[in-house]
C-alpha cells in the first residue's frame, strides 16, 4: 500500500480520486459510527480485559484494519479508474492464481490415491504455505493452498464466475471449460458445506442471467448440464473410493449438517451469533464498540452452546472469541445504526453494479461485469459465515465495482462471441 501511495504521488500529474458512486457515503458514515461508538463506550473499552488482551488495543487494531481495508478499496478503484488495470487483467490474474492452486491440488489428489511421491512433495511444500495447524491438509478433504476447506470454498466461489466468463467471451473455449469443471470438482472434493452452498447459489444465478440474456442455446444448455453432471458424479465416486464416503456419509457429514442441531460446528456458529444478537439488543443504538465482542461473549452465550469444544477453548483463553457472522458481529459492536449503514452500503453497491450490467444487455451482455456482480453476491453470502474486515479481496472487489459503475459496461474491453 505504501509503494502504491508513492506511485500515485510521483505520477506526472498527481491523480488520486475518491469514488462518488455505489454507496460510498454509507461506507464513510459507517466509519464515522465506528469512531463515535468507540467514543461513547470509551470507559468500558478502557476497562475491558480478556486473558491479557485489552479492549483498547482490540478497538484500535480493528479501526486500523477497517481503515486499511477502505484504503485498499480506494486504491483498487484508482488503479482501474486511471486505466492501469481493467477487469480483463483481473480475470487473467485470477486464472493464474487458480493454475497455481489447482496444480497444488493435483498433488493432493495423487496423495489421496496413495502415490508416495505426492506424499513427499506435500510434506515439503505444505510447511512453506500453511501454518502448523495444517493437519487438516493430510485428510480426505481438499483445501489446496488455503487454510481449511471452507476457505477454499470461498476462494472457489470468487474465482468461478471469472472462469465461466471465458466461455462467453472467447472463441477457444475448451481450455476454460476444463478449468471450470476442474474447479467445480475441487470444490466438491473439499467436502465444505460453504462450497456446496455457493455452487448451488452461483448455478441458480447463472441460469437466471443466461435466460435473461437469451444467449445460450438448448444444445449448449444440455451439453453444459451433461458436463457438470459427469463432473459431480466423478467427484463423488472419487470420494467414495479414496475415503469410503458413501451417499449416507455425504448427506450426514456435509449436506444435512447445515440444519443439524447436534453438529458441534453449527452449535459454535449459532451460539456465537445468538450471543452477538443478544448483546446488540442490550446496546441497540451504537453497540459496545468495534472489536469488543470477545469481552462480552461469556455474559450473553446461551447455555446450550457450552457443549462446543471451540467455545470452551475460547472461554479458557485459547484465542480471542469471534462471531461466526459479519452481520451479527456488526450489530453487537456497532448497534442497529452500524448494521443499517453497512447493509445500505452493500446493497447500494450491489444494486448499482447490477444496473450497470443490465445496461449492457441492450447491445451485448457484459460477462465480466456479471462476474463482478456474482462476486458481490458471494461476499454478501460469506457474511453469514465469517466476520472479519481483514478479507482484503472484499475491499479490492468494492474498489473494482466502484470503477466499473463509473466506466460503464465492457470496461474490461472484452469481446462478445456468439
- For the chain, what are the domain ranges? 19-407
Q: What is the pLDDT along the chain (418 residues), one digit of tens a residue?
A: 777 767 776 766 667 788 888 789 999 999 999 999 999 999 999 998 888 889 899 999 999 999 999 999 998 999 898 888 999 999 999 999 999 999 999 998 888 888 888 888 888 888 888 776 554 455 567 888 888 888 999 999 999 999 999 988 888 888 999 999 999 999 988 888 888 889 988 888 888 887 776 666 666 667 777 888 888 887 777 766 665 554 554 544 555 455 555 556 678 888 889 999 999 999 999 999 999 998 988 888 888 888 888 888 887 777 778 888 999 999 999 999 999 999 999 999 999 999 998 887 656 788 899 999 999 999 999 998 888 999 999 999 999 999 999 988 766 554 443 3
- For 347, the grid coordinates are 446493497
Amino acid at each position: 500500500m505504501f509503494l502504491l501511495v508513492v506511485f500515485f504521488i510521483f505520477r506526472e500529474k498527481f491523480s488520486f480520486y475518491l469514488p462518488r458512486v455505489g454507496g460510498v457515503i454509507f461506507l464513510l458514515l459507517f466509519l464515522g459510527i465506528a469512531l463515535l461508538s468507540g467514543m461513547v463506550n470509551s470507559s468500558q473499552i478502557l476497562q475491558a480485559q480478556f486473558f491479557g488482551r485489552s479492549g483498547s488495543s482490540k478497538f484500535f487494531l480493528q479501526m486500523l484494519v477497517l481503515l486499511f481495508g477502505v484504503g485498499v478499496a480506494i486504491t483498487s478503484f484508482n488503479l482501474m479508474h486511471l486505466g492501469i488495470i481493467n477487469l480483463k487483467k483481473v480475470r487473467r490474474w485470477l486464472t493464474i492464481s487458480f493454475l497455481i492452486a489447482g496444480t497444488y491440488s493435483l498433488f493432493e489428489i495423487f496423495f489421496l490415491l496413495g502415490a508416495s511421491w505426492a506424499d513427499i512433495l506435500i510434506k515439503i511444500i505444505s510447511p512453506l504455505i500453511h501454518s502448523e495447524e495444517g493437519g487438516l491438509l493430510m485428510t480426505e478433504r481438499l483445501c489446496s493452498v488455503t487454510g481449511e476447506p471452507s476457505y477454499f470454498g470461498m476462494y472457489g466461489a470468487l474465482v468461478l464466475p471469472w472462469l465461466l466468463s471465458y466461455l462467453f467471451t472467447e472463441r477457444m473455449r475448451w481450455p476454460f471449460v476444463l478449468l471450470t469443471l476442474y474447479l467445480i470438482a475441487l470444490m466438491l472434493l473439499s467436502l465444505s458445506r460453504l462450497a456446496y452452498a455457493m455452487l448451488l447459489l452461483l448455478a441458480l444465478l447463472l441460469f437466471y442471467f443466461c435466460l435473461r440474456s437469451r444467449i445460450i442455446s438448448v444444445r449448449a444448455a444440455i451439453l453444459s448440464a451433461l458436463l457438470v453432471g459427469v463432473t459431480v458424479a466423478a467427484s463423488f465416486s472419487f470420494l467414495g473410493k479414496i475415503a469410503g464416503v458413501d451417499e449416507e456419509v455425504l448427506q450426514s457429514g456435509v449436506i444435512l449438517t447445515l440444519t443439524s442441531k447436534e453438529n458441534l460446528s453449527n452449535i459454535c456458529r449459532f451460539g456465537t451469533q445468538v450471543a452477538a444478537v443478544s448483546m446488540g439488543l442490550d446496546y441497540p443504538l451504537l453497540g459496545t464498540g468495534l472489536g469488543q465482542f470477545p469481552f462480552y461473549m461469556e455474559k450473553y452465550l446461551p447455555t446450550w452452546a457450552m457443549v462446543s469444544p471451540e467455545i470452551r477453548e475460547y472461554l479458557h483463553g485459547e484465542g480471542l472469541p469471534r462471531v461466526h457472522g459479519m452481520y451479527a458481529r456488526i450489530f453487537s459492536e456497532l448497534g442497529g445504526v452500524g448494521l443499517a449503514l453497512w447493509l445500505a452500503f452493500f446493497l447500494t453497491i450491489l444494486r448499482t453494479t447490477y444496473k450497470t450490467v443490465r445496461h449492457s444487455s441492450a447491445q451485448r451482455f457484459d460477462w465480466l461485469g456479471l462476474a463482478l456482480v456474482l462476486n458481490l453476491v458471494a461476499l454478501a453470502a460469506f457474511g453469514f459465515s465469517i466476520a472479519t474486515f481483514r478479507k482484503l479481496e472484499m475491499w479490492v472487489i468494492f474498489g473494482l465495482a466502484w470503477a466499473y459503475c463509473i466506466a460503464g459496461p465492457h470496461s474490461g474491453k472484452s469481446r462478445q462471441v456468439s
